[in-house]
Structure 1
Amino acid sequence: MESGLYRMLPMLCESDHEYSNPSQTMAEEDEDQRINRRIERLSLHLNPYLRDEEELGRVVELVGCAGVRPKLIISVSTAAQLSEYMRGKHRGLQDRVYEYFNGRPDLHTPVEISKDDHRELCMRQLMGLVREARIRPFVYVAQEPDKYFSILEAVGSVDISLGIKMGVQYSLWGGSVLNLGTKKHRDKYYEGIDNLDYPGCFAMTELHHGSNVQGLQTVATFDPLSDEFVIDTPNDGAIKWWIGNAAVHGKFATVFAKLLLPTHDTKVVSDMGVHAFIVPIRDLETHQTLPGIEIHDCGHKVGLNGVDNGALRFRSVRIPRDNLLNRFGDVSREGKYTSSLPSINKRFAATLGELVGGRVGLAYSSVGVLKVAVTIAIRYSLLRQQFGPPKQPEISILDYQSHQHKLMPMLASAYAFHFATQDLVKKYSEMKKSHDEQVMGDVHALSAGLKAYVTSYTAKSLSICRESCGGHGYAAVNRFGSLRNDHDIFQTFEGDNTVLLQQVAADLLKQYQQKFQGGTLAVTWNYLRESMNSYLSQPNPVTARWEGEDHLRDPKFQLDAFRYRTSRLLQSAAVRLRKHSKSLGSFGAWNRCLNHLLTLAESHIESVILAKFIEAVQSCPDPSAQAALKLVCDLYALDRIWNDIGTYRNVDYVAPNKAKAVHKLSEYLSFQVRNIAKELVDAFDLPDHVIRTPIGMQSTAEAYSQYTRYVGF
């Protein structure tokens, strides 16, 4: 009993010195008094409200057992329950994708393949999926988006290029017809898009304009004499650039252009803002490029060379008036413009709001890439042995604390992102059914933030995974190179990550303003409505010192810490913007505070991710699986707190002793997660023919034999 207490003495003396009586030295105290005083102080650490002797006795018992911590073990049945919980209700649909490609080795992407061959293979893969396996993603785009995104994740695991090509065809080109058009467009194009008779493009980005969509320069001028729109590229900067499916396979393009209407003054036109138009670019029978259209190949890229990105120039290309996707704005035969929305800005916002599915898909797919990379890195780290105690067998490299520090928080993040993006898909599906404005606003901000945060994290993690596998991680057959290169662009398309985080920050500031004007808050900001005052108050000096494991692993403490940081950042950003706008104007003030605003956005997204992870843990029906998830969730939370411990220390939210406790516990949790790391990655349920790497096979006994056979032994 006493030995257990004395092991705690250095920590207690260091953290509780302010309670000591300066007139009384340790030498003057009786040993029993010292012990009792330490016990009392320990009780206050664990629960400052403990007072009666019975509770104090329980604390003493806890101290005596403090050095013994059982390992968490996942049984076979628990692993199955965890996998079932992770894969969800569309497991069978994903298995159909995996089984189809497993039975078609001719459609597997080789390690070495030329750009042109990869493009053709990618098209054959998509055709096989749709026409042979009879998996029709387009059916789900509008009706059941959660099924569509499940297919997208599975397809991306086969080849990221295939996932992107499928997304271009069904989410972008097909989605623009469904979401921006009306019944006449769906009746005319739906079947051809669905069965791939009408492969198409999504022509938004221009050479000079990407993120600033309202600044696009391509024009569509209405000609009332012929009842047509005339599409023109007025200068080189307006050439449509990086257009997927354009270089080789596309027959149509949804072209975003400024809609210009003639006025009574023949020299003046009315600019009605950016609209979307269906423009045929190749002949359906001969596949020849149509008159007035120039198509050029964007060439070899850093990654995703299975996708045929091209550049499009339009020279007085005429299309029927009906080719205007007219859900939010229409032009009559007489050239009169009508819209249910009163301004250019509102029409623009509505248009982009309907295209948010692309961001949802990228966030969801990025998690799939992270799962593959983490699975390969952890399985190899369990297999590879190196050094160890003298005259004893070598140990697994995952037994080294430095390796656990690299990979275990990453594994925890993969789980956290899985549940957060699942919730995003659920919200997106709700939005598509209800068209509720509040849900739409929430999905817009949340998809922007999660896409930016998750894709940036995954991009960094892919390099860490490669490094953690040493030289073997550099072999192309082990996929880190292709995964890293193919995924890298996720940080840029469907919205540059820095721009998207600014959108999140702008939304937060809007919500903050509405909070103090009595307005309603978006769903993800419920915590501001419920307890804004507590998050903006001064930290409790007692709570700031609590360092017990139960307290640090309490979801309420973790979530409060995340939300406190976000609330402080939000309040200080609002104050700074108000101050600088007086001398710099609104744009100058925003630019002066930009790094602060990006940190604010990331902090908010981390809060959302943790909240969804905690919900998922609490909803898990199997107690053993729930315990495993709780461990992973705690690691995710405490690792994030430790990574930003300077912020918490600067505002006295965490005292020095508590900061040390957070660090120690996060390292210990990494060790505990390492003990079940194999079962945790196995729960992703990714078959060997999907992982497709010798060092990432589920049966580690066969890894080296597979590897040696690959190189010719």
Structure 2
Amino acid sequence: MERQDCSGSQGPPQGRSGAQPRGIKQLPRFDAGVMETYLDELRDMKAKVYQMFREHPELLPNVEEGLSKEEHRELVRRSLKVILQAGYSPLDFLARDPRKYFYLGECLAMVDLSLMVKSGVQYSLWGGSVLNLGSEAHRRRYYDDIAQLRLPGCFAMTELKHGSNVAALQTEAVLDVLSDEWVVHTPDEGAIKWWIGNAAEDGRAATVFARLKVPDPNGGPKLVDHGVHAFVVPIRDANGSTLPGVEIRDCGYKVGLNGIDNGAIRFTHVRVPRGNLLDRFASVDKSGRYSSPLTSQARRFAATLGELTGGRVGLVAGSVGVLKGAITIAVRYACLRQQFGPPDCPEVAIIDYQSTQLRLMPILATAYGLHFARGLLTDKYVDMKRTREPRLVEEVHALSAGLKAYTTSYTQAALSTCREACGGHGYAAVNRLGALRSDHDIFQTFEGDNTVLLQQVSAMLLKEYRQQFAGAPLTATYHYLRSALLGALPNNPLVTHDTEPRHLRDPVFLAKALEYRTARMLFTLSLRLRKAGPRLGAFHAWNKCLEHVLDLANAYVESVVYKTFLRAVEGCVDPECRRALKAMSDLFALRLIENDMMFRNDEYIAPSKAKAISRLTVSLCSELRGVALPLVDAFAIPDHILRAPIGLGGNGGTGPQPDIYKEYLHAAGFEV
């Protein structure tokens, strides 16, 4: 069966069904390979990684088979070993070429999210914590064994009663001066380390985050608590038996990611050498004297957590990979699936219905926008690791927090939309949308709960805003905030009433509108906090404004994504690809403006203009429908990796289109 032509040139007249009218304006077709080349400078690496799994199909989990957690965990272990045997060293990538590390994570996301996360636990969390928080001596001692998987490890931060509030962790590491050892102990049940990846079965050591306590140098009876620090603590011997004082329990089945052996760990007076303190930011000598190049506990804590931003970058990459896969499945299915139509005429592909276009085209546009934003974040992370420039460290911290929160929340919602757009067939396990949704769900929580991360972004914006009006110099990243407040004229008739598509698709108008929204929210949030603070106190004032806090952070991230998207449009030299990218960037921004009542409440946009924007988004979705297939083919996810019968595409458009119903019947066990 040939796939329905999505150009719309032969579409039926507009009717009650909402099908696509004839003569609708269409974007020119383009070569998906040219778009892929523009999107993906590491595409050769992706092709080799995916070819490796073509040669090892037994490593690709079949969601129909309902693997037990033990079977899935073993499959993930074998996959990691095959990756290493093929010459890919994730830890080497992380240490020497982070772009390749994050790219590998994005590739693995559509193979198996459990595999991607398992790799992240071993190399980014366990390995990365040793490399980034330890000394050169720690690196020499552990690097090769971690890299070659001879020393599987854990990242033991989260506790039963504390997750996001890392500063309040309760696990203790008390220095015994006489034996020159740390005594790591879980003081109560609430301090049991919880959800620790690699702990239930594989981990032999862990980076344990605990309160560093030393005897009072002045001879006082109480220990001095220097706050949370990281320690390397062995948890199993070479035979896999737990060490004395270490108790580990399996966290059991989860909603998803059952290929990860999450465990809970309790320490009972476990002794480790003093040198097991990861001492990049603080050290303790044999006498118990504590020293640090950073003058305050708050600065040391911030520096420690700041070194762990790579985990968030990795989650952005993996989430973008999942989003690309989901929209690929949904678009390909929508282009083939036919349903209803005018009387006495053939049925119409569901992508010809306006409702389907309005569902899927904004997701496709956002997938492209987040792809470019992920590239921006990766580049800034690489520059930060190279220069250690304080301003860049702060920027990467905020951008990684915001993009992680925004991308994972958006992807999770998009997975549900894609499932619904595929109807009943989207509910079949074999088509993977349900499994992707379950596995990806936790991305919104780990490496920082999204609600907490968004608050960090808004707190950073408020800090910058206050510095600006206190006379501090503007930074290149945030200078637009004040200029947007001073320069935006909501009541200017030209801005407020112009309904011409030329104006509505003008990048200057779109960028200015999104900047105004961010600046307006920042201005009003600052006023609300200033008003409520003296009466309620800082904590309760913040809590009272929390919805506004979250909206501000999301608005800021969306403005960053749009401007990054716009630079990508401007950098594309192929005219057909550029027109498609421009249409998607326009749709991304217009959809945000259309859905935010603030623009109308502030009279930034008159009612007639709001209606014109709604009409234009419908029109852009229709135009993009015509090039939806090459746009998803440009993601170049081969069929053996996608593994969804309703979304197969002849290996990303490079081969003949498959009969997806035949593939689907075969997957269900029918002889065809």
Query: Would the TM-score normalized by the shorter structure come out above 0.5?
Result: yes
CA distance in 2, matches of 1:303, 1:660: 42
C-alpha deviation, 1:92, in angstroms: 1.6
C-alpha deviation, 1:647, in angstroms: 1.0
Q: Any residues of structure 2 matched to 1:557-568 within 5 Å, and which?
A: 557-568=509-520
Pick one of 278, 281, 291 that aligns with 1:338.
291
Pick one of 573, 596, 615 that aligns with 1:664.
615
Q: Residues 383 and 538 (structure 1 numbering): CA distance in 2 closer, same or farther, change over 3 Å?
A: closer
Q: Any residues of structure 2 matched to 1:45-124 within 5 Å, and which?
A: 70-76=25-31, 79-87=32-40, 89-111=41-63, 112-124=66-78
Pick one of 207, 215, 236 that aligns with 1:254.
207
Which residue pairs with 1:464 in the alignment? 417
**What is the DSSP-based 3-state SS (H/G/I as helix, E as strand, rest coil) of the residue aligned with 1:122?**
helix
CA distance in 2, matches of 1:75, 1:489: 37
1:292-340 CA-to-partner distances (Å, cap 9, x unmatched) read 0000000000000000000000000000011000000000111111100
Q: Residues 153 and 539 (structure 1 numbering): CA distance in 2 closer, same or farther, change over 3 Å?
A: same
The answer to whether the aligner puts 1:358 opposite 2:315 as a matched pair is no
**What is the DSSP-based 3-state SS (H/G/I as helix, E as strand, rest coil) of the residue aligned with 1:709?**
helix
Pick one of 658, 663, 668 that aligns with 1:706.
663
C-alpha deviation, 1:73, in angstroms: 2.1
CA distance in 2, matches of 1:359, 1:478: 28
CA distance in 2, matches of 1:521, 1:186: 39
Pick one of 516, 525, 530 that aligns with 1:573.
525
Relative to structure 2, which stretch is displaced further, 90-99 or 611-620?
Answer: 90-99
**Corresponding letter in the other structure for 2:459:** A
CA distance in 1, matches of 2:290, 2:439: 43
2:24–2:623: 8 Å Cα contact kept in structure 1? no
**What is the DSSP-based 3-state SS (H/G/I as helix, E as strand, rest coil) of the residue aligned with 1:260?**
strand
CA distance in 1, matches of 2:472, 2:660: 59
C-alpha deviation, 1:402, in angstroms: 0.6
1:648-683 CA-to-partner distances (Å, cap 9, x unmatched) read 010000011100100000000000011110010001
CA distance in 2, matches of 1:564, 1:529: 10
Q: Any residues of structure 2 matched to 1:383-462 within 5 Å, and which?
A: 383-462=336-415
CA distance in 2, matches of 1:683, 1:316: 55
Which residue pairs with 1:280 in the alignment? 234
Q: Which has the bigger relative contact order, CA under 8 A and spacing at least 6?
A: 2
**Corresponding letter in the other structure for 2:588:** Y
TM-score computed with the length of structure 1 as normaliser: 0.88
Q: Any residues of structure 2 matched to 1:17-28 within 5 Å, and which?
A: none
CA distance in 2, matches of 1:123, 1:581: 52
C-alpha deviation, 1:633, in angstroms: 0.8
1:21-46 CA-to-partner distances (Å, cap 9, x unmatched) read xxxxxxxxxxxxxxxxxxxxxxxxxx
CA distance in 2, matches of 1:517, 1:690: 54
Q: Residues 518 and 191 (structure 1 numbering): CA distance in 2 closer, same or farther, change over 3 Å?
A: same
1:270-300 CA-to-partner distances (Å, cap 9, x unmatched) read 011110000010002x111000000000000
Q: Any residues of structure 2 matched to 1:563-712 within 5 Å, and which?
A: 563-644=515-596, 646-699=597-650, 700-712=657-669
2:415–2:437: 8 Å Cα contact kept in structure 1? yes
C-alpha deviation, 1:481, in angstroms: 1.1
1:608-659 CA-to-partner distances (Å, cap 9, x unmatched) read 1101000110011212211110011111111111111x21010000011100
**What is the DSSP-based 3-state SS (H/G/I as helix, E as strand, rest coil) of the residue aligned with 2:368?**
helix
1:505–1:600: 8 Å Cα contact kept in structure 2? yes
1:243-285 CA-to-partner distances (Å, cap 9, x unmatched) read 000001111100000000012546310011110000010002x
Q: Any residues of structure 2 matched to 1:314-329 within 5 Å, and which?
A: 314-329=267-282
CA distance in 1, matches of 2:374, 2:491: 32
Pick one of 478, 496, 499 that aligns with 1:547.
499
C-alpha deviation, 1:528, in angstroms: 2.5
**What is the DSSP-based 3-state SS (H/G/I as helix, E as strand, rest coil) of the residue aligned with 1:368?**
helix
Bigger radius of gyration: 1
Relative to structure 2, which stretch is displaced further, 542-551 or 198-207?
Answer: 542-551
1:439–1:523: 8 Å Cα contact kept in structure 2? no
**What is the DSSP-based 3-state SS (H/G/I as helix, E as strand, rest coil) of the residue aligned with 1:327?**
coil
C-alpha deviation, 1:108, in angstroms: 1.3
1:361-406 CA-to-partner distances (Å, cap 9, x unmatched) read 1112111100000000110011100111111111100100011111
Q: Residues 68 and 404 (structure 1 numbering): CA distance in 2 closer, same or farther, change over 3 Å?
A: closer
What is the alpha-carbon root mean square deviation over aligned residues? 1.3
The answer to whether the aligner puts 1:139 opposite 2:92 as a matched pair is yes
**Corresponding letter in the other structure for 1:74:** R
Q: Any residues of structure 2 matched to 1:471-550 within 5 Å, and which?
A: 471-528=424-481, 531-535=484-488, 537-550=489-502
CA distance in 2, matches of 1:341, 1:461: 43
1:517-548 CA-to-partner distances (Å, cap 9, x unmatched) read 2224454313226554114x544133210011
CA distance in 2, matches of 1:405, 1:69: 15
1:406-451 CA-to-partner distances (Å, cap 9, x unmatched) read 1110111101111011100000000000000001100000111111
Which residue pairs with 1:8 in the alignment? none
Which residue pairs with 2:83 in the alignment? 129
The answer to whether the aligner puts 1:177 opposite 2:130 as a matched pair is yes
CA distance in 1, matches of 2:213, 2:35: 56
The answer to whether the aligner puts 1:380 opposite 2:337 as a matched pair is no
TM-score computed with the length of structure 2 as normaliser: 0.94
1:566-599 CA-to-partner distances (Å, cap 9, x unmatched) read 1111101000100001110111110111111111
Relative to structure 2, which stretch is displaced further, 357-366 or 188-197?
Answer: 357-366
CA distance in 1, matches of 2:170, 2:375: 37
**Corresponding letter in the other structure for 1:150:** Y
**Corresponding letter in the other structure for 1:75:** F
C-alpha deviation, 1:70, in angstroms: 4.1
CA distance in 2, matches of 1:488, 1:707: 26
**What is the DSSP-based 3-state SS (H/G/I as helix, E as strand, rest coil) of the residue aligned with 2:527?**
helix
CA distance in 2, matches of 1:314, 1:218: 8
The answer to whether the aligner puts 1:238 opposite 2:198 as a matched pair is no
1:70-126 CA-to-partner distances (Å, cap 9, x unmatched) read 4212233xx221111112x21122222111111101211122211110011111111
1:441–1:522: 8 Å Cα contact kept in structure 2? no
1:367–1:414: 8 Å Cα contact kept in structure 2? yes
